[in-house]
Amino acid sequence: MPVYNLKVNGQSHTVEADQDTPLLWVLRDHLDMVGTKFGCGIGQCGACTIHVDGSATRSCLLQVSMIEDMEITTIEGLSDDASHPVQQAWKEVDVPQCGYCQAGQMMSAAAFLTQNSNPNKSEIRDAMSGNICRCASYNRIEKAVEVAASKLS
Amino acid sequence: MKNNISPSFSRRSFIKTSALAGGGMLIGFNLFQSCKSEVTPPVDISQLNFNDFNAFIKIADNGMVTIFSPNPEIGQGVKTSMPMLIAEELDVSWENVHVEQGALDTKNFTRQVAGGSQSIRHGWEPLRQTGATARQMLINAAATQWGVNASECKTENGVISNANGDKLGYGEVVKVAATLEVPENVTLKDPKNFNVIGKDIPNVDIDKITTGKPLYGLDYKEEGMVYASVLRPPSFGQKLVDFDDTNTKVVSGVKDVVKFGDKVAVLASSTWAAMKGKKALDANWTSDSKLESTEEHDKILKDLLEGSEFNTLRADGDVKKAFAEADQVIERTYESPFLPHNCMEPMNFFADVTPEKVRLVGPIQTPAKTAKIVADLLERDVEDVSVEMTRMGGGFGRRLYRDFVLEAAEISKISQKPIKLIYSREDDMLAGTYRPAIKYKISASVKDSKITGYHLKEASVNSNMYGLIPNFFPAGAVENYQVDVANYESKITTGAWRAPYTNFLSFAEQSFFDELAEVLEVDRIQLRLDLLQKVKGTTDERIQYSPERLENVIKVAVDKSGWNTKKEGVYQGFSAYYCHNTHVAEVADVVLDNDIPVVKKVTCVVDCGIVVNPLGAKNQIEGGVIDGVGHAMYGDFTFKDGTPQDKNFNTYRLIRINETPVVETHFIENDIAPTGLGEPTLPPAGAAVANAIKAAKGIRLYKQPFIKYMNTKAPLG
């Protein structure tokens, strides 16, 4: 089995995996970083969203062989101490119901806010529409993105 | 009328205490009062056993309180709100409370279940009684030490004080308190003195969720565990003939292939290898009967509605006579598709079956039943089976069923390995226990402009509405009233789906009343209020709802939604419903965007009695409303040749944030014992939207999903 060198949350890891293994399962099964969630496996729900070189990306569609030398950030690495404005906002607004999709939601929001730090509601809704929340905590997700934006500014 | 009555319970013996070996006090109690009277809690916390009690409170020497919350957490918030009830009467500061999910070995309990929106309703009295009993024991210990009368002592935030100004923290008297007799009569707080109940308390798992810590079943792993992916018959009604695993066995990481029944499991060192190995299986299937389709179900259910083979669940007066004597009969049929649950966390479970014991860990709404059926399957004593519940990535009824746990147990038994069964999204959608397709035919007879008869007929796949539903509104409001059900036995597995039956029945009935008002040319709100007027003072004990409380939510919804002050370009639809012991009224605001209806806002008025945790309660309400809007608008699930036609989110549509209305929540303030919120705001949403779309576009919707019947090609939302 091929060996890959990955840089996840600022740390180097060596993993042995088939070249077509999605990064999602490398993170979860090989590296024991289970914060990134499996929802659909086809890039439709956003539960597995991570950052690749700062951009929100679906880790279920990203083969391990494609990401060597790239900077991977997962929910575990969004901050060292839950201090990222998005994490703080999610807590303040008490967004989660079941909470399963929220890592993906937060990673989408964090990447979006680096592109647009002062979004209006419509821009937030567009940006977050790739992430499904089956509990439909959408009103609070919208609010939390607003709160996070205000913390960033 | 049953709304104001708290569930009764026996105080005797449902609380026991022990002094812990390591310091502090352990209080065992049985939330659902079925523990054996001779049992006492363990003195060593590591021996904590949910066989004997189904919940525990530990008060440490330093005054910190750990509550082992009994019920499974599926996102409904009970892991936060149930411990709040204990903390309130124990009179401790919430900051000093730590909550852990109670595990389960099953034997003695009656309801360690997440389902039916019942956890808070059933827990209201016993959880507060437990907290109050512990508080009284702590006071008694302090009073003895001070040599004063216990009645002269007060508590505040975990500190006991007396008239002389002496103070003792709970932690200072806990060792003595644990040895005292359990008092039989404790006084509960007056609601106006609540310090925890009624406060906004954030989700107790919030820090773990926002930092990606392991919490869910899918996150659970153990040393030596292998991952399992299962190939199941592609269609309901098919059986396995044979299979070739040549291509599977060459997939790197695949360790074993196991056949059980009509299924084949691939075991591997990673989830991906197991899924890949499964895809490489080459299997042949057969069926000995015709495979079912939605087209065929449509015809069968229609025929059932038109037929005469009904089971009558409730009959008041003489519906037949009322219809025969009517000036006018209004009859409408409403049709719903199957729906998959689509929990965001696909089904999964850990099982380790060894000759000594059976360990099960994962997301399950019904742990007690799980232990029993796994024991039955494996021909083991139920005492050998332990179940640990993880936080669940959604439930919605899907995890009431145990099919995936049975699979996991069987695979572990055959392979003699600890295994983690993981469903792909396709597995999850193709092997569901779906909301059954249902058709309702509602007829009303009108004589001298009055509704004289109401006849509800249900034709459903596999099962029918449960017995209490025929006693919901409008039962009692119409003199001649009948509910009939008919059934078709299908091979497609069906089951409870968030607010079973009422999730669609409410749409049918609340659409029907709206149309009835139009036909009778009366005010649609007044029609509902007039019907409720007739139920007031009823002596019919079967009636589940309170006409006064339903009337109240309707009136408040009219007020809060601006129903009587029309806004240009905003079309409103009304709906009110009682289910799961909670009264709800909703008003949907729809606007037209290029002639396409868009749901902008839903005003939701809820009477759930005392609101335990407003922050969590509003989350449930918003979620329930949007879930109701989303599935009414988009939810569709059809079958062809026994196979679902959607298997992932590329074709199966769930509501997304850009299609979501703003939900404005209003609670009715009262001191009535609380009822649940996981389900009751979902059912009224569909009719509120349909009635608003009627106002906006003139189109009356009878079928879900609305998107299919809107007479427009552009997407709604």
pLDDT digits (tens, 9 = 90+) for B80-105: 998 999 999 999 999 999 998 776 64
Q: In this model, does residue B4 exceed pLDDT 70?
A: no
Question: Which of A112-121, B4-13, B350-359 has the weakest average pLDDT?
Answer: B4-13
Residue-level pLDDT at B1: 36
* Element of type H or E holding B247: helix B246-249
Pairwise pLDDT comparison (B15 vs B519), residue with the higher score: B519
For residue A42, list chain B residues with Cβ-Cβ distance below 8 A: 425, 648-650
> With a CB-CB cutoff of 8 Å, which residues 72-111 of chain A face chain B?
74-76, 78, 82, 87, 90-91, 94, 96-103, 106
Residue with tokens 């078709």: B488
Q: In this model, does residue B34 exceed pLDDT 80?
A: no
Compute and round to an integer the Cα radius of gyration of chain A: 15
Q: Which residue of B has its CA nearest to A20?
A: B272
Residue-level pLDDT at B114: 53
Q: In this model, does residue B223 exceed pLDDT 70?
A: yes
Mean pLDDT of chain B: 92
- CB proximity list for A122: less than 8 A, separation 6 or greater: none
Q: Which amino acid is at B31?
A: L
User: Among A51, A94, A98, which would you mutate to test the B interface (most chain B Cβ atoms within 10 Å of its Cβ)?
Assistant: A98
For residue A60, list chain B residues with Cβ-Cβ distance below 8 A: none
- CB proximity list for B96: less than 8 A, separation 6 or greater: B63, B64, B65, B158
- For the record, the structure tokens of B150 come out as 């216990």
In whole angstroms, give the CA distance from residue B132 to residue B383.
33
Residue-level pLDDT at B42: 80
Tell me what ipTM this predicted complex has.
0.98
The alpha-helical segments, DSSP class H, found in B534-657 are 547-560, 614-634
Residue-level pLDDT at B107: 44
- The mean per-residue pLDDT over the stretch B106-118 comes to 52
CA B361 to chain centre: 21
Q: Does A66 touch chain B (CB under 8 A)?
A: no
Mean pLDDT of chain A: 97
In whole angstroms, give the CA distance from residue B418 to residue B226.
7
Residue-level pLDDT at B77: 86
Q: Does B250 touch chain A (CB under 8 A)?
A: no
pLDDT in tens, A92-111: 999 999 999 999 999 999 99
- CB proximity list for B305: less than 8 A, separation 6 or greater: B333, B439, B441, B457, B459, B486
Residue A28 DSSP class? I
**Contact in structure between B360 and B409 (CB atoms under 8 Å):** yes
- CB proximity list for B169: less than 8 A, separation 6 or greater: B63, B158, B159, B160
In whole angstroms, give the CA distance from residue B554 to residue B559.
9
The answer to whether the bond into B614 is cis (omega within 30° of 0) is no
The answer to whether the bond into B340 is cis (omega within 30° of 0) is no
- CB proximity list for B89: less than 8 A, separation 6 or greater: B127, B128, B129, B130, B131, B132, B135, B188, B189
- For the record, the structure tokens of A85 come out as 């404005």
Pick from A30, A39, A137: CB nearest B623? A137
Question: Which of B52-56, B270-274, B281-285, B558-562 has the weakest average pLDDT?
Answer: B52-56
- For the record, the structure tokens of B415 come out as 């392979």
Please tell me the distance in Å from B273's CA to the nearest CA on chain A: 8
Q: Which of A8, A53, A54 is nearest to A30 (CA)?
A: A8
For residue B270, list chain A residues with Cβ-Cβ distance below 8 A: 17, 21, 25, 29-30
CA distances from A71 to A53, A116, B543, B618 (A): 5, 21, 62, 39
**Contact in structure between A84 and A141 (CB atoms under 8 Å):** no
- For the record, the structure tokens of B87 come out as 């903390």
Residue B362: phi and psi, rounded to 5, are 160, -170
As to burial, measured by CB atoms within 10 angstroms (0-12 exposed, 13-18 middle, 19+ buried), residue B439 is buried
Residue-level pLDDT at B117: 63
In whole angstroms, give the CA distance from residue B308 to residue B688.
32
In whole angstroms, give the CA distance from residue B606 to residue B603.
10
Q: Does B221 touch chain A (CB under 8 A)?
A: yes
How many Cα atoms are found within 13 Å in the side-chain-facing hemisphere of B144?
A: 13
In whole angstroms, give the CA distance from residue B250 to residue B194.
64
Q: In this model, does residue B35 exceed pLDDT 60?
A: no
Q: Does A61 touch chain B (CB under 8 A)?
A: no
Q: Which amino acid is at B461?
A: V
Tell me what percent of the residues of chain B surpass a pLDDT of 70.
Answer: 94
Question: Which of B312-326, B387-401, B422-436, B598-612 has the weakest average pLDDT?
Answer: B387-401
Residues B346, A39: C-beta atoms closer than 8 Å: yes
CA distances from A92 to B118, B141, B567 (A): 28, 39, 34
- CB proximity list for B706: less than 8 A, separation 6 or greater: B632, B633, B689, B690, B693, B716
3-state DSSP helix/strand/coil percent for chain B, to nearest 5? 30, 25, 45
**Contact in structure between B176 and B56 (CB atoms under 8 Å):** no
Residue-level pLDDT at B37: 58
In whole angstroms, give the CA distance from residue B367 to residue B386.
9
Q: Does A21 touch chain B (CB under 8 A)?
A: yes
Buried b (16+ CB within 10 A) or exposed e, B473-498: bbbbbbbbbbbbbbbbebebebbbbb
Q: In what order do the strands lie in the sheet with A11-16?
A: A11-16, A3-8, A71-73, A49-52, A55-58
Q: In this model, does residue B675 exceed pLDDT 70?
A: yes
> With a CB-CB cutoff of 8 Å, which residues 310-369 of chain B face chain A?
342-346
Please tell me the distance in Å from B228's CA to the nearest CA on chain A: 13
**Contact in structure between B691 and B511 (CB atoms under 8 Å):** yes
> With a CB-CB cutoff of 8 Å, which residues 657-696 of chain B face chain A?
657-658, 660, 662-663
Residue-level pLDDT at B113: 54
How many pairs of residues across A and B have Cβ atoms under 8 Å apart? Answer: 193
The CB density around residue B295, as the number of other CB atoms within 10 Å, is 11
Residue B416: strand, helix, or coil: coil
- CB proximity list for B10: less than 8 A, separation 6 or greater: B33
